[in-house]
Amino acid sequence: MQTTAAKWNRQKTIDFLLRYAMYIILLAILVVVSAIRPNFLALSNILNILKQASTKGILALGCAGLIVLAGTDLSIGRVMGFAAAVTAALVQSVTYKSRYFPQMTQDLPLIVPLLAAIAVGVAFSLFNGFGVSKLKMHAFIITLGTQLIAYGVNCLFIEAQPSGTAQALSTFNQTFKDAAAGDLVMGSVKIPLVVLYFLGLAVVMWVVWNKTRLGKNMFAVGGNEEAARVSGVNVARTIMLVYLIAGVLYGIAAFLEAARIQSVGANTGINYETDAISACVIGGVSFSGGVGTIQGVVIGAIILQAINFSLNFIGVNPYYQYIIRGLIIVLAVAIDVRKYIVKK
């Protein structure tokens, strides 16, 4: 009996460590950084972490559905970069002499650049979705190709400026900056609007995942595509809809990111897919398919940014930061695989 009880307790401990490993690592990092720099957990730093995590978190909300389908998206960063460039071209100040569209004499309603960015995201995502659902291509291959296509199109778009130069698109109108990158002032506290947008979209996606037929079908397809098809799920339609939603979120993220960084160039969005996918995996979305939660994705995005911010805060060499972030990604995937093996 004691041996059985000991084994049961040991298994419970392993399960606990596997489930909360990334949270334990984050807590350890926060304790160490706080010991080195006591002001690390100041409210201003916490808000800064949330602000920096928000746009990548929105990308992760879109990418998470694709991973639940046992796929991925390597084109996220470049697609977002092109959508951000389109946004930037449409929101430049009309008083800026080197603006992309010199014929514009007044600021466009914000819905126009937002819809343009969403259209870019949706177009590329549906292209990926068609390749996966209809042509039966692996998501890794089709999105890798789309990554290159989006980057090439973005470079051509930026080079097509009337000025004849490939300079970064900047000098945005004040209305855009206030709406997309402003703050909600509550007394002495300024809460970045982008954080509220991120949390609002997370609530919407929670409803989609947990309270709609699409959400149920998505998990069914990701868990066992053949069984889902036999049970009457339209697999191709489900995949296309999940990619469509991802594209919408990529466009919104691009719109907000353009306002946050204030300047959009050919390399905008580089490696964003790494952060988005990492946030999903850290948040418990399994590459095995059929497993994941929206709250996990949100927490994963915040954890990843908190780690990045803390390393910068204590002055860790940027090259070491790449190594540490890479190890964290490998560890997160290893834990995910281990959890899958234990379940089997």
Strands 169-170 and 263-264 turn out to be antiparallel
Residue 1 has pLDDT above 50, yes or no: no
Judge whether 91 lies within some domain.
yes
Judge whether 334 lies within some domain.
yes
Judge whether 285 lies within some domain.
yes
Per-residue model confidence (pLDDT) at position 3: 64
Number of DSSP helices (H) and strands (E) in the chain, helices first: 13, 4
Judge whether 6 lies within some domain.
no
Q: Provide the token pair at 104.
A: 């514009």
- DSSP letter for 105, please: -
* pLDDT tens for each residue of 271-284: 899 999 999 988 88
Judge whether 267 lies within some domain.
yes
- Domain carrying residue 234: 12-343
For the chain, give the longest Cα–Cα distance.
83
Q: CA 103 → CA 106, 173, 219, 220, distances in Å?
A: 9, 16, 48, 50
* pLDDT tens for each residue of 10-60: 777 777 777 777 778 778 888 888 888 888 888 999 999 999 999 999 999
- In whole angstroms, give the CA distance from residue 117 to residue 129: 18
Judge whether 2 lies within some domain.
no
Kindly calculate the radius of gyration of the chain based on its CA atoms and give it in whole angstroms: 21
Q: How many CB atoms lie within 10 A of CB 191?
A: 14
- In whole angstroms, give the CA distance from residue 258 to residue 324: 28
Judge whether 239 lies within some domain.
yes
Residue 145 · residue 72 · CB < 8 Å: no
First vs last C-alpha separation in the chain: 25
The pTM of the full predicted model, rounded to 2 decimals, is 0.92
Per-residue model confidence (pLDDT) at position 26: 77
Strand pairing partners for 92?
Answer: 172
Domain count, the chain: 1
191, containing H or E segment = strand 189-192
Strands 183-186 and 169-170 turn out to be unpaired
Average pLDDT value for residue range 200-218: 97
Judge whether 3 lies within some domain.
no
Q: Torsions phi, psi of 164, nearest 5?
A: 80, 5
Q: CA 133 → CA 71, 148, 231, 336, distances in Å?
A: 11, 21, 18, 25
CATH code at position 238: 1.10.3470
